[in-house]
Structure 1
Amino acid sequence: MRASSVAIVIGFVLLAAPVAGQTTTASVIGTVTDAQKGVLPGATVTALNVENGAQATGVTDATGAYRIPALRPGLYDVNVEMQGFASRSRKGIQLFVGTEAKIDFELGLAGVEESVTVTGEAPLIEVTKSEVSSVIDRKQIDALPLSGRSFTDLMRLTPGVDPSGRIGGMYETASNSYLVDGVSNDRAWTGGNRTSYSAETIREFRVITEQFAAEYGQASGGVVNVVSRSGTNNFENRV
């Protein structure tokens, strides 16, 4: 009986932990149709990370829908191809941590229409989520002055965060949950941010102030979801 109780407790603890694959990545979803708005099953959709060359591929289902999950935040080109149809591309899609960008494609017949490339950003409104959040990206981290180069100072740019770092009107910053690459960075007993990472090591972070999803937890205030920097094909240095 005692062993069963321990197993149940451990199970709840594991279920309460954030799921790294969901919290640190982005995804692209959408529908592929022909010129008459008929759905196209079997179309191949490819997302290319412009910064490091990594690719991920999805195939449309019977309803013409596709989903490419687990994309590392970054700049992407999205291309769709299907036999008998002209290919289409969307370039310069910026995906932030936690983003689920909806990008639909309409394909014309091959030979009638040449391949088409469109440059543009992902939609500003994510129709698949109800959370209230803001992203602090690498451009802001580089451009704004920081005392001690602590990324938590930039949390104050987010509506709903007061000058002390409290989110959603909670009494203490210990009410917030901090994640770094999907791993909890909370202090074990007192709560709050355990390790103060230098701004130079961070690519971006999302501050969720209200209505965060069940994949997050351990917070009565807000969630700060951090993604660290990784290598790219571009050489960078700092003096």
Structure 2
Amino acid sequence: MNQHRYLWDSSLMGNARVKRIGGFGESEFDYRPYVVLDQTLFHPVRPNQSDDRGEIAGLPVVAVRQSRGGELQHHLPIEPDFRIDTAVTMNVDPVRRCKLDSLRLSADLLAGLAESIFTNVKVIGIDYRPHRSRVEVSSRYCVPGWSDVETRLRQRLADALTSSVKVATRIPSASCEFCRVAIGGLPERTSHGTYPQSTNALTVKLLGGNAIGGRLHIRFDASSEHGSNSVECGEQS
């Protein structure tokens, strides 16, 4: 399995070696060629999270998928002219990474705030994808109405947007690695990536709430002034 360097290294540029080249019907995802590297800085797509874009050896990376066997496949628009064991340079798109980092941090911040404000509320789902970003909450009792949730979240957001971000040690599991992240004084949450060092440059917009079958979907958007100075998963700050 290739090294998932993106979990603990927030760099946008790095070097790797080509382990395998595939595609043309072999991939379970599509017919485009792909390369597998010995280590990667690119986040793969997940059911609730978008993948990185960028370049490998000057070729655009149009998708990053994880196979059922855990192999990360970097899909390219054309067949590469490099061969196995070639040293290549990775360049991650900084604008897209900044957006995805902002959504991930904002979602975990809102999830932590919701559970700390409403004692009977439990976060049961988070979607970090652009234009679909939301936090889904439920309760054993009556789910709070959106008006109440919005008012109380806005009251707490002002203070929360000056919080530091602390990432705990990486934790390996059978299928992947993850870490625990704590924003300000909120409880730690499970994470699969890198984060900014603080929420100072973060802007969070609450877009609305939808009550669906005893659950409340909190829709939001987020942006950041910059994508640098990220805390690396596994590093204390």
**TM-score normalised according to structure 1 size:** 0.25
Rg comparison, structure with higher value: 1
> TM-score, length-normalised on structure 2?
0.25
